[in-house]
Amino acid sequence: MTDAPVRAVLVDLDDTLFPQAEWLAGAWGAVSDRADALGLDGAALRGHLVRVAAQGSDRGGIIDQALVAIGVHPEPYVPALVSAFSGHAPEQLAPYAGAFSALERLHASVPVVLVTDGNPAIQRAKIAALGLGGLLDHVLVSDDLGGRAVRKPHPAAFRRALALLDLPAGAVVHVGDRSAKDVAGAHGVGMRCVRVRTGEYGALPDPAGLLPWKTAGSFREAVELLMPFCVREQQGVPARL
């Protein structure tokens, strides 16, 4: 299976196609502004939001912890601040250098399905701000399939993608930045994974037993590695899903 043809590619979003830190900076700004409107110290809160998020930006309770850090009981304020966070929808986000053209090249060769975790409204707003819609055959947000419980490495989104593509796992490669989510999730359904070493988790080593098929320094480099293996299906898989 290692050198089998690649007939479709799944692609992660955050820290794979663009730096998640860019979106988070804007989101924390929106939360800070809402905090100011509520009579809180928005600047102080923002500092603690950044500090807590640095411990792992996908961990829950970041806003609660930051409020406690500025000496405020979270309960009266969390709903409004979470709403500000979830409603952050920038008009434009910048992909990593070369990522857009690499995705264009990949999409011209094989079907591409984006597989991402998170609040569906937030993730789709990111895709719109990045201008990626026309380069994706389908978008799967794992939370649509069962909430946080089915986020990667849970197999739900990977299996759904395979069903949409009507392809076996051995013919599909996933590209993502995290061993614990992307590599583990791909391995769990019998799929190969190219790990890109970008973003918040890019410097973490590959744990024993979670070695990717290939490793790349960027999404653009990952596509370069994939292209010699990519073969578009002539039957059974349409150019657009």
For 53-100, what is each residue's pLDDT tens digit? 988 777 779 999 999 999 999 999 999 999 999 999 999 999 999 999
Residue 234 lies in a domain: no
| Residues 116 and 79 grouped into a single domain | no
**Mean pLDDT of the residues in the chain:** 94
User: CA 187, CA 209: separation in Å to the nearest integer?
Assistant: 10
98 and 211 in a single domain? The answer is yes
Q: What is the pLDDT of residue 238?
A: 40
Which of 86, 106, 127 is the endpoint of a domain?
86
Would residue 62 count as lying in a domain?
yes
pLDDT digits (tens, 9 = 90+) for 15-60: 999 999 999 999 999 999 999 999 999 999 999 999 999 887 777 7
Same domain, 99 and 174: yes
118 and 155, same domain (yes or no): yes
Helices (H), the chain: 20-37, 42-53, 62-69, 78-86, 99-109, 120-130, 156-165, 184-188, 219-226
Q: Within this chain, do residues 49 and 136 fall inside the same structural domain, yes or no?
A: no
209-225 per-position pLDDT tens digit: 899 999 999 999 999 99
Residues 25 and 15 both lie in one domain: no
Query: Phi, psi (5° rounding) for residue 15?
Result: 65, 10
In this structure, the answer to whether residues 118 and 214 fall within a common structural domain is: yes
59 and 107 belong to one structural domain: no
Count of domains observed in the chain: 2
CA angle (111, 143, 158) in 5-degree steps: 40
Same domain, 136 and 203: yes
- Residue 201 has which token pair? 């988790």
Name the residue among 123, 166, 146 with its Cα closest to residue 11: 123
Last residue in a domain, options 62, 86, 110? 86
Instruction: Tell me if 235 is assigned to some domain.
Output: no
Q: What is the pLDDT of residue 1?
A: 56
- Distance CA(240)–CA(19), nearest Å, equals 27
Q: Is 111 helix (H, G, I), strand (E, B) or coil?
A: coil
* Residue 169's CATH number: 3.40.50.1000
Q: How far apart are CA 116 and CA 229, in angstroms?
A: 24
Kindly tell me if the per-residue pLDDT of 237 is higher than 90.
Answer: no
Q: Let me know whether 35 and 153 are in one domain.
A: no
Asked if residue 218 and residue 163 are part of one domain, the reply reads yes
Q: Which domain holds residue 14?
A: 8-19+94-229
Kindly report, residue by residue over 115-152, the tens digit of the pLDDT: 999 999 999 999 999 999 999 999 999 999 999 999 99
Confidence of residue 240 (pLDDT cuts 50, 70, 90): very low
Of 63, 86, 109, the domain-final residue: 86
What is the per-residue pLDDT for 233?
65
Say yes or no: 102 and 189 in one domain.
Answer: yes
